[in-house]
Amino acid sequence: MAKTNIKSADKIKANGSIHHHSRNEGIPFDLDLIKDIKINKSAVERRASTIGTRRSVKKEWQAAWLLRAITCIDLTTLSGDDTPGNVHRLCAKARQPVRQDILKALEMDDQNLTVGAVCVYHNLISEAKKALKGSNIPIAAVSTGFPAGQITLAQKLKQIELSVKAGATEIDIVISRALVLTGEWAKLYDEIAQMRKACGEAHMKTILATGELSTLTNVAKASMVAMMAGSDFIKTSTGKESVNATLPVSLVMIRMIRAYEEQTGYKVGFKPAGGIRTAKQALEWLILMKEELGNEWLRNDLFRFGASGLLTDIERQLEHYVTGRYSAVYRHPMA
């Protein structure tokens, strides 16, 4: 196959984030911004169904988009059988997410390509820190009683403080879903604002667990409250719910991000998580971000995938682009 300069299709820098926007400091609670939000489910589903059908990304452009997707992955292990060993292997994959021979064929072997972050439980932060030393790859920790969030606020705040002290530079919190389902928006704002304060300089990604919020209107309102309270990112799911990231839910959250920026000037990031396993799905989410929010949200300071298996399929697709053949999964081990 003739060489194609992927860098001419998309200028990718190593772990691609360029922090050129002000951090979301939040705004005072304003019920008027929330009470009139109503979502037309049928219209959302119609729009979501067109994503990936109106825009086709092929050949070197597809390869470039997939390389960009890699830089936006929060490479994650959140299993009951996690050990220091598999965290170290995951971190090794985070540092070199694509085989060197593939990168060389793509003329990308000089770009120091890495994932956006590594995401682990609190007790494995120290192992991730050792394994990632010198890489500048952020460490994200799930906190606040992940995944259910059924602990007291005091316990949630303590967990955040401990994770930040241990070395996490990003904290993925979970909200109290009951506060959404009962419409206690001011209390939800107060909890999230206190968690944001506990994070300090660590960036806070607020998980809405959208599969448990009942309606798209609740998703939209919870998104707005989370941003008002100072969230740096809003995230769809823990990955542990029966329904996780979907395009309709993502569309609703993204449009709330756009509305919040129009109201305040603050840019808030977005992270779909759970169930995104294929390169094709990754392209659909990238297309959604580009169409709804623009190119600025195609960088990992404003967009992340929460994923554990996605990288394997992306690497296989890149090898297919280079060789014209699909390889076996075992040639692209995750850990």
Say if residue 114's pLDDT is above 50.
yes
pLDDT at res. 20: 64
pLDDT at res. 335: 47
* pLDDT digits 0-9 by tens, 213-258: 999 999 999 999 999 999 999 999 999 999 999 999 999 999 999 9
List the domains of the chain with CATH numbers. 28-326 (3.20.20.70)
pLDDT at res. 120: 98
pLDDT at res. 334: 64
At 42, is the secondary structure helix, strand, or coil? helix
pLDDT at res. 1: 38
Output the six-digit token pair for 62.
């597809």
At 25, is the secondary structure helix, strand, or coil? coil
pLDDT at res. 132: 98
Residue 3: band (very low, low, confident or very high) from pLDDT cuts 50, 70, 90: very low
pLDDT at res. 331: 73
Closest CA to 140 of 76, 80, 50: 76
Residues 6+ apart with CB under 8 A from 282: 66, 69, 276, 305, 310, 314
pLDDT at res. 10: 54
Closest CA to 138 of 146, 129, 147: 129
pLDDT at res. 7: 56
pLDDT at res. 201: 97
Over residues 101-127, the mean pLDDT reads 96
Residue 113: band (very low, low, confident or very high) from pLDDT cuts 50, 70, 90: very high
Share of the chain above pLDDT 70, in %: 93
* pLDDT digits 0-9 by tens, 261-284: 999 999 999 999 999 999 999 999
Residue 54: band (very low, low, confident or very high) from pLDDT cuts 50, 70, 90: confident
For the chain, what is the mean pLDDT? 93
Whether residue 275 contacts residue 244, with contact meaning beta carbons closer than 8 Å, is answered with yes
Active site residue ranges: 172, 235, 271
Put the strands of the sheet holding 203-207 in their side by side order. Answer: 269-271, 233-235, 203-207, 170-174, 139-142, 117-120, 73-76, 305-307
